[in-house]
Structure 1
Amino acid sequence: MSTTDDVQDRIEEVSNATGSGPHLVTLAVPPEQPIDAALERIEEEHARTEYIDADETSERVTEALERVRRIVSDYEETPENGLVVYAGIVDAETIDYVFDDLPSPVAGERYERSNEFETEPLDVTTDESTYGLLVVEHGKAILGRFSDGDVEQIESLRSDDTEDNPTSGELGDREQTHREFFERVAERAMVEFLGEAADEQRRSNANPGQSDIDPVDGLFVGGSSVTASEFLDGDYLDHRLRNRIVTDAFAVGDASRDGLEQLADKARDHLEDARREDVREHLDEFLGELETGDEAVSGREAVEEALEYEGVATTLASGTLSAEELRDYERRTVAQGGEFVVVPNDIDGGDELRDGLGALLRFPID
């Protein structure tokens, strides 16, 4: 087992390594991925590289992939929290770094080839939540989800009664058509975002061969401002999905892939604003308690002592700390039921965290 200092040093070395071309290889294997699948991916990349005209770059890529393949082949199964391997030629020497004892799970599969190693798989601050996306307009809708920035389109829906001119026909008939389509969209959202349907036959038809769908952590709805609001105000969604709606409907182009991407962009901005506001509130509470009370401490030594006494309610850590330090303090804080907050470098008041650390306490520690 690597020591904390050793892991920290290796992360810093990975961050500083630079190649003379795009031949440094990063492989991230999440814990749920079989090690054989990761090895197969490397074999495919190796075979693909052999078809490239022989030049210095392809030769260096091949050498890096062979080093990664040898490393991965030594594992009979994927480590508990996944595996991250780096290999390539730096300063005329083939180097590698292996992280197989990470304190938190690798977020997802990743293969990168660049003149720098990709250190994001080692970052503990990634949001692992999954959010549902629903863009709805009269007669058309599209469903998707995103997690850690990746947008997945699930399905597009279209009303069977959609006409070339949606305003034609009797008003009552049009309204009935809209209501029926909204009900269909809501049922589909329940299938995709809650893993349930009105009956097993519909579930079977909607999701062939898929029996389990994890609920989303939140739901973002978009469309034209009028239509999306009409859908939400009409109370079509299951109450459990309504409780997961993160904010008011966003205005986006239409129910297409572009509209889904627009909604995801607005959702990311909203989540980032909310995250910074949450950090701001924690930091303000910390600064107020630090000035007037005795249930806040600042500095590495004081935070370490509070963690030893299991008296930490919230640890605040500066984003300037290394990824390994952040992981370590997050693990120890969460283990005692506390909350861990990373304070961005550009937030006013963050410099009050001596040594980049502070804590709100459950009780005073003498």
Structure 2
Amino acid sequence: MSQQEEGEPSDRKKYEFQKVIEDLREYEGSGTQLVTIYIPPDKQISSVVQHVTQEHSEASNIKSKQTRTNVQDALTSIKDRLRYYDTYPPDNGLVIFSGAIDTGGGQTDMITKVLEDPPEPIQSFRYHCDSAFLTEPLEEMLGDKGLYGLVVLDRREANVGWLKGKRVEPVKSASSLVPGKQRKGGQSAQRFARLRLEAIDNFYQEVAGMANDLFVPERHDLDGVLVGGPSPTKDEFLDGDYLHHELQDMVLGKFDVAYTDESGLYDLVDAAQEVLADAEVMKDKSEMEEFFKELNEGGLATYGFDPTRKNLVMGSVDRLLISEDLRKDVVVYDCGDKEEYEFVDRRADTPEHTCEDGSSVEAEEREDAIEYLMNIADQRGTETKFISTDFEKGEQLLNAFGGVAGILRYSTGV
């Protein structure tokens, strides 16, 4: 089992952020009165307070009295929250949402939510006031993950960089000294061709050196390498084994790319979308293939909420598999000498429950099913894996197995 990479947000933290984002997307304001502020880690808090104070002053010009009051109340709440921080925000920055949300019947409710240390660093300061909270930058952070090395080259130039999640980061570039195809006067055709081949070889070595210096130290965290450029350049580069042998084995594909400047790195990512999608979901596919193998042959598999819960409590689950699209609550009922459970849709009303002895009882408590299961998993040393529905077996986990399954350490008969 892979260990959590240093600095990478845990599945629990990513899920908690996802849940907050889903709640924020539900909120609406009657007018442009919901305020969102994204604060990067290098932005001084005093500067943010100054900006908020200025916005508070300018809000006095809003014609609608209700909107004006709501915006100024939201900004006052944000200033109050900023007092809890010293010179700078936490390591990855800070996001604050505040505003009067519609609760129905013409009523509103003032809320303020603070998200500290988002999954990735906030890139730039943003102040946003609208009828909905701005959640897209956070959603992008929680999108497809992965670390890929990028190389684009032709015989004139090359660029090397990273694809981190959905963010392309150009890092190094080089220009070649390869002469054009037309030789200068006084040189024999044979000598010119030899010098040209030597220059091409030297340039390929220089590009490989840039890539090796950048990628090899990160090779254990690297999910793959993508190479782009015109033919035959990219083919010569890969066929010539210029890259470090471990990187050569990690090349996921070579792609036709027209440009080899920094924009070519973005074109390369666009051209490789299908390969990237397959690579992203490979880890999930591997988990599900192991689950189905144990289900059909080994017997070390459990599925469904209640059997998986019981195995978790016993400590017999090695890996808990949860569908990324699962949106359920667990409702707990006190049935005298034992607790009984129901697994219900998150938006459904809490049902009454008939215990095994025939008595009807109301719910004792209700909570998010994923958090409930992860809490047990954490206590038992069980790893939690979120499984995408972007492939057939991932869909089956959600639709055929209730979105919850596990690979066992030992057979329990549950």
Q: Which range, TM-score by smaller chain?
A: 0.7 to 0.9
Q: Is the 8 A contact 2:324 2:386 kept in 1?
A: no
Is it true that 1:219 corresponds to 2:225 in the alignment?
A: yes
Indicate the larger mover: 296-305 or 20-29.
Answer: 20-29
Distance 1:73 1:139, change over 3 A: same
How far apart, in 2, do the equivalents of 1:332 and 1:256 lie? 50
How far apart, in 2, do the equivalents of 1:240 and 1:361 lie? 33
Unaligned runs of 5+ residues in structure 1 are: 1-5, 197-213
Distance 1:48 1:252, change over 3 A: farther
How far apart, in 2, do the equivalents of 1:171 and 1:53 lie? 74
Q: Which residue of 1 aligns with 2:182?
A: 168
How far apart, in 1, do the equivalents of 2:255 and 2:372 lie? 38
Q: Is the 8 A contact 2:226 2:268 kept in 1?
A: yes
Is it true that 1:108 corresponds to 2:121 in the alignment?
A: yes
Letter of the 2:196 partner, please give it.
Answer: R
Distance 1:183 1:97, change over 3 A: same
* C-alpha displacement of 1:228: 1.0
Distance 1:233 1:291, change over 3 A: closer
Count of aligned positions: 334
Unaligned runs of 5+ residues in structure 2 are: 1-15, 103-107, 184-191, 329-367
Q: Is the 8 A contact 1:82 1:106 kept in 2?
A: no
Taking every aligned residue pair, what percent have the same amino acid on both sides?
A: 26
Is it true that 1:303 corresponds to 2:305 in the alignment?
A: no
Q: Is the 8 A contact 1:139 1:178 kept in 2?
A: no
SS of the residue corresponding to residue 243 of structure 2 reads coil
* C-alpha displacement of 1:9: 8.3
Residues 63-142 of structure 1: pairs in structure 2 closer than 5 A? 64-76=74-86, 83-91=94-102, 92-100=108-116, 106-109=119-122, 111=126, 113=128, 114-117=130-133, 118=135, 121=138, 126-142=143-159
Distance 1:28 1:318, change over 3 A: farther
SS of the residue corresponding to residue 267 of structure 2 reads helix
Match of 2:407 among 357, 360, 363: 360
In the TM superposition, what whole-angstrom CA distance separates every residue of 1:129-173 from its partner, at most 9, and x where no partner exists? 3322110111211122221211122243211x245xx22232211
Distance 1:25 1:342, change over 3 A: farther
Letter of the 1:95 partner, please give it.
Answer: I
How far apart, in 2, do the equivalents of 1:51 and 1:156 lie? 45
Task: Select the structure with the greater relative contact order (CA < 8 A; seq sep ≥ 6).
Answer: 1
Is it true that 1:344 corresponds to 2:354 in the alignment?
A: no
Match of 2:321 among 307, 316, 329: 316
Q: Is the 8 A contact 1:137 1:255 kept in 2?
A: yes
Q: Is the 8 A contact 2:49 2:82 kept in 1?
A: no
Q: Which residue of 2 aligns with 1:262?
A: 267
The structure with more radius of gyration: 2
* C-alpha displacement of 1:109: 1.1
How far apart, in 2, do the equivalents of 1:50 and 1:260 lie? 44
Q: Is the 8 A contact 2:226 2:254 kept in 1?
A: yes
* C-alpha displacement of 1:278: 4.2
Q: Which residue of 1 aligns with 2:105?
A: none
How far apart, in 1, do the equivalents of 2:140 and 2:175 lie? 40
- RMSD after superposition: 4.2
Distance 1:155 1:294, change over 3 A: closer
* The structure with more strand, counted as a fraction of residues: 2
Is it true that 1:143 corresponds to 2:188 in the alignment?
A: no
